[in-house]
Amino acid sequence: MPEGPEIRLAADKVAAALVGHEITRVAFAFDRLRKFESRLCGRRVIDVRTRGKAMLTCFDNDWVIYSHNQLYGRWFTCRQGVIPDTRRQLRAEIHNRKNSAFLYSASDIDVLHHDELDQHPFLSRLGPDILSDKPDARLILERMLAPQFHNRQLAGLLLDQSFLAGLGNYLRAEILTLARLHPSRRPVDCSREQLQKLARLIIRTTHRSYRTRGIVNPPGLVRQLRSQGKSARAEYRFNSYGREGEPCHYCGERIRCANAGGRKMYFCPGCQPAPERVEV
């Protein structure tokens, strides 16, 4: 599933095609949404925002198209008159005189009034979005220490969208390796310095992935790996995620993979030693 940075990049693409232009046609594949087509046609798109893994296409009359891509949804943008070359099922299309945006395969689409957003079942459960709300490290530290979160293992906590919105599996793996914290640790097991460092890394790593389109390793390490001949993107973008059995770029230990809640969790046993009470 795409994570916060990938959703934000998709939103940037849709924004570039739609923001500021008068909409000439909107169409939905779902009968329940057809009544909104005439309400949105003739209006302007003023913003395309993200909240966690949801995208909000905002119109100048306070109506908003909510879409959540889940595993399969995908936005395409084209010049007006061009149809994307795909066999996917078209779910929504938005046109202006210059460009078109097409949403394929997603089923979680709705049209909401701006005032309804806070009551939406998915949106209302989200914690601060790292890329949109830009929480600072102090706020993230406060949340880690809050009673509802401080006893949770970091492996589960970082994926919990009610804690922070926008993190997924690859960001979790890379952030915890950089923080040198084993995934089974809980905020209550960590020192204040460790949690402050973790909070800063959550912000920095997510923004870096957005800025570099998914190159999550720090720039110094990327330069070093490329100078060693690792020129394919897949060879230098991650340290831990998807690299089970490969040597850690920092310490040389083999990356391990454990199953946590049905999802693969990658970590380095050298950089992230297990606490003594836990066996993984």
Find the binder of Zn ion among 64, 248, 265, 266 (CB under 5 A): 248
- Under rule CB under 5 A, residue 84 binds Zn ion: no
Shortest Å distance, C-beta 251 to Zn ion: 3
Q: Calculate ∠ Cα 14-73-110, nearest 5°.
A: 75
3 is catalytic: yes
On the 0-12 / 13-18 / 19+ scale of CB atoms within 10 A, 8 is buried
Catalytic hit among 2, 84, 218, 247 = 2
2 is catalytic: yes
User: Is the Cβ of residue 26 or residue 248 nearer to Zn ion in the bound state?
Assistant: 248
241 Cβ partners below 8 Å, 6+ apart?
169, 170, 173, 174, 216, 266
Strand partners, 77: 101
User: Is the Cβ of residue 99 or residue 272 nearer to Zn ion in the bound state?
Assistant: 272
**What is the C-alpha separation between 33 and 121, in angstroms, rounded?**
18
- Inter-residue contact 128 to 190 (CB < 8 Å): no
Shortest Å distance, C-beta 255 to Zn ion: 8
Q: DSSP assignment of 230-244, as one string?
A: --SHHHHS-SSTT-T
Please identify, among the stretches 24-32, 92-100, 160-168, 266-274, the one whose residues bind Zn ion according to the rule CB under 5 A.
266-274
- Inter-residue contact 12 to 74 (CB < 8 Å): no
- Under rule CB under 5 A, residue 167 binds Zn ion: no
Q: Which two tokens stand for residue 54?
A: 């949801």
User: Is the Cβ of residue 48 or residue 255 nearer to Zn ion in the bound state?
Assistant: 255
- Under rule CB under 5 A, residue 268 binds Zn ion: yes
In degrees rounded to 5, what are phi and psi of residue 100? -135, 150
Q: Which two tokens stand for residue 210?
A: 């957005």
Please identify, among the stretches 78-86, 95-103, 228-236, 244-252, the one whose residues bind Zn ion according to the rule CB under 5 A.
244-252
Q: Which two tokens stand for residue 189?
A: 């097991």
Please identify, among the stretches 116-124, 181-189, 241-249, 258-266, the one whose residues bind Zn ion according to the rule CB under 5 A.
241-249
Catalytic hit among 116, 200, 263, 269 = 263
- Under rule CB under 5 A, residue 141 binds Zn ion: no
Find the binder of Zn ion among 111, 165, 222, 271 (CB under 5 A): 271
Residues that bind Zn ion (rule: CB under 5 A) add up to a total of 7
Q: Applying CB under 5 A, which residues contact Zn ion?
A: 248, 250-251, 253, 268, 270-271
